Amino acid sequence: EDQVTQSPEALRLQEGESSSLNCSYTVSGLRGLFWYRQDPGKGPEFLFTLYSAGEEKEKERLKATLTKKESFLHITAPKPEDSATYLCAVEGYGQNFVFGPGTRLSVLP
Amino acid sequence: KAGVTQTPRYLIKTRGQQVTLSCSPISGHRSVSWYQQTPGQGLQFLFEYFSETQRNKGNFPGRFSGRQFSNSRSEMNVSTLELGDSALYLCASSWTGGAGDTQYFGPGTRLTVL
């Protein structure tokens, strides 16, 4: 059974204080690993898709990396508007997305 | 390009009633998936439709059903509502739902069961 865990559960950062979020997974044949950001009361907003170990993608202050067992979302010099819940999902041969519980990020000014 | 739209945005129902939620995918997307999100269980997969056929199903009771129309719009129905069905119901669309295809989410329908 495909499983996804995320750590930490919650993270508080000062504005400008860089950090990383972790997504660990077990999946029968990875077809894709996906990062989303979700603001309260809204649907998840797509950030990145990673397909194979060693792949990296960047967007503004965010950088996602992938190994065979985990993915990291690095946040460089975060701003208060980066505050959100960050969700990780994997797609294996089961062909449906399995989501992790998310990391609640708070960036304080 | 318009995103995924869901109607209604909010619903209040009582136990035993039934409810129908609607989802319009991004133009050109043919795969639609439905998820239930609750604080305790997180995001859980309900089912996926492609070309009007249910292609994949999660671990939910038969009270949860769906369908897809020829224009790729989808509806989800929950019969005999229970208190535990209170949740944010999210719809996501993708081009084909094929391997590694990115899903784009709508804003969700907040269902409250009293």
| pLDDT per residue as tens digits for the range A62-93 | 999 999 999 999 999 999 999 999 999 999 87
Q: Which residues contact B81 (CB under 8 A, 6 or more apart)?
A: B13, B14, B15, B16, B17, B18, B19, B113
Contacts of B45 in chain A (CB under 8 A): 96-98
B104 touches chain A (CB under 8 A): yes
Q: Which of A41, A42, A97 sits opposite B103 (nearest CB)?
A: A97
- In the three-class reduction of DSSP (H, G, I as helix; E, B as strand; rest coil), residue B15 is classed as coil
State yes or no: pLDDT of B9 exceeds 70. Answer: yes
- Residue A32: burial class (beta carbons within 10 Å; 0-12, 13-18, 19+): buried
Shortest CA gap A99–chain B (Å): 6
pLDDT 10s digits, B76-98? 999 999 999 999 999 999 998 88
Q: Please give the pLDDT value at position B24.
A: 98
pLDDT at B97: 81
Mutation target to probe the A interface, by most A beta carbons within 10 A, among B56, B91, B101, B105 is: B105
Q: What is the DSSP letter of A80?
A: G
Residue stretches of chain A with pLDDT short of 50: none
Q: What average pLDDT does range B69-75 have in this prediction?
A: 97
- What percentage of chain A reaches a pLDDT higher than 70? 98
